[in-house]
Structures are given as C-alpha cells and as structure tokens.
Amino acid sequence: MNMTKLLAKLPFGPWRDAGPIVSVLRLSGVIGQAGAFRQGLTMSSMAGLIERAFAPKKQAAVALVVNSPGGSPVQSALIAKRIRDLATEKKVPVFAFCEDAAASGGYWLACAADEIWADESSILGSIGVVSSGFGAHDFIQRYGIERRLYTAGDKKVILDPFSPEREDGVAHLKAIQAEIHDAFKAMVRDRRGARLSGAEEELFSGAFWAGRRALELGLIDGIGDLRSVLRGRFGEKLRLRVVQEDRRWFRRMGFRVDAPAGTAALDRMAADLPAAALAAVEERTLWSRYGL
C-alpha cells in the first residue's frame, strides 16, 4: 500500500479535509482533421483524454471547457457520444463551460453536458449545417482552359467547382444537409428537453446569440465561469484536476523518442505545410462567421 492510500485511511490529519475532485477537459479549436501542425478536435485525438477525464473513481464531476466555432458533424457526434457513454457508465455529472464560442459543432459538444454555462459575451447556437465552395468554370473558360473530367457513373462528380453547377447536385447536397440538420436538432432536443423555450423555427435556423439571449432561449443553464460555478456547487475546497495532452513537441509531431527523426519525418512535415496553411485559412473563416 502506498503512502497516499495509507494516510487516506487514517481518521485524522489534513488529508481528511481534502475537497471533492472535478476533472477539467478542454475542447478547444475547430472540430475535424486540420493537418500535422494544427490538430483539430477528433475522436482519435480526444479519446485518450476523455478516458482520463472519467478515470478517477470518486470524483464529483467532469467539466468541459468548450471553445469551438464548429466543424465536422461526424467528429462532433462521436466525441459527444463518448462523453455521454462514460458519464452514464461512471455515473458522473458533466458540466460545460463555454468561452468565446460554442457554435455549430461546438454547441453539439456542449450538449454532451448535463448543464451548460457561458459568459455574457459567449457566442452560442448556430444549430444548422453549412457547405461552401466556389465556381471557377467561367474563369477557366475565359483563359482558354479546358476542363477534362471522366467518370463511370453519371453522379460520380456532381459538385465540381470547375464545371457549371448542376441542379441535381445541389438538390443532393441539400438533402444530405437536411439529414445532418435533423440529427443535430434531435441531439439538442434530447439533451436540452423542456429547458428549450424558444420557437424551433428560431432555435434551429442556424442563428447564433450571445449569452443572455441564449439563456432566455434555454440553450444554456446560466451565466457563470467554471471556478465560481463549481465552487458554489461543490464547496470552497474543490480541487480541479486538469486533463492535458502530452505537451512534448516530439510526441505531438509524431516523432519517436527511441530513434532519430530522419529525413522521412522531415519530408513528411514539409509535405504537410501546404495543407497546414489551408487549414489555417479554413479555421480563420470558421471563427470569422461569428465575428471572432
């Protein structure tokens, strides 16, 4: 038996006054794959951290710190489901605390909690689905560039940015968006239930709001920050256990500690640079939708 367990069994001493533990898990950034230099929130990147957050046997709760403009609906659903599964299995309540934004997929993640709290200036909602692209067929035609595209199957390519827009392609995309939107709405209804007070036409329009209005609509449970809310709930002796990723740079970059990096790893880093630059632009675009 180690010393900590031995002391915990004694009926006296300052260790007997230790307060309840709450694990704190940060869910920050764009949801989905982002490249080697800009890791987004994915099930594969978060699975270990989520498991660690729920690992303590006698903790009072798990707190999620959410700061995300959204991203992949699939990764949002997978991460939220894993949190809910472990919360049910461990019988541990979950609190979400929203920072700058919990919008779109970010709000999906917040709905994994039993209670959602935010700042007055937090951006919340955006319960909708968006897909963006561009049309360059007029541009390439102007410069005499010929688009050559060969497929087996007349619907193999229906949203090609270098070809004129196809009505059947747009209809197909909108049908898929509607399915994803329905799944999002079902998640919000299931998690928020009777607390929702706004009309569905407003709640699920894709609009977003600041904290006070989100509270009026029932999208959150209160205005407050993590430390104040949890100390009010669990007492002044509350202990926050922050769950963090491995901060050693060679681990994050995929290097092994038992072998030199070599040119292959460096070549892989160089090849990822263009994708990383594009991911940075896409991330900036997501944040800018909410004026952030």
Query: C-alpha 288: how far from its chain's center?
Result: 17
More confident residue, 31 or 136: 31
Cβ proximity of 180 and 170 under 8 Å? no
Q: For position 97, what pLDDT does the model report? A: 98
Give dist(CA 23, CA 82) in Å, integer.
16
The pLDDT > 70 percentage for the chain reads 76
Average pLDDT, the chain: 85
| Whether the Cβ atoms of residue 188 and residue 111 lie closer than 8 Å to each other | yes
Q: What's the average model confidence in pLDDT over 173-186?
A: 95
pLDDT at 194: 96
Residue 228 confidence (pLDDT):
97
pLDDT in tens, 39-52: 689 999 999 999 99
Residue 169 pLDDT grade (very low, low, confident, very high; cuts 50, 70, 90) = confident
Question: Tens of pLDDT along 117-163?
Answer: 999 999 999 999 988 777 887 788 888 888 888 888 888 888 888 88
In the prediction, which pLDDT does 135 show?
80
pLDDT of residue 235 exceeding 60:
yes
> Which residue did the predictor score with more confidence, 27 or 248?
27
Residue 120 near residue 99, CB atoms below 8 Å: no
Residue appearing with tokens 């299931």: 190
For residue 6, name the pLDDT band (cuts at 50, 70, 90).
low
pLDDT in tens, 52-78: 999 999 999 999 999 999 999 999 999
Q: May I ask the CATH architecture of the domain 20-137+180-288?
A: Alpha-Beta Complex (3.90)
Which pLDDT band holds residue 241 (cuts at 50, 70, 90)? Answer: very high
Structure confidence at residue 250 (pLDDT)? 46
All structural domains of the chain with their residue ranges: 20-137+180-288
5 φ, ψ to 5°? -65, -35
Residues 72-112: pLDDT tens digits?
Answer: 999 999 999 999 999 999 999 999 999 999 999 999 999 99
Give the C-alpha distances (Å, rounded to integers) separating 15 from 7, 174, 212: 7, 59, 41
pLDDT at 76 (0 to 100): 97
Instruction: Report phi then psi at 109, rounded to 5.
Output: -65, -40
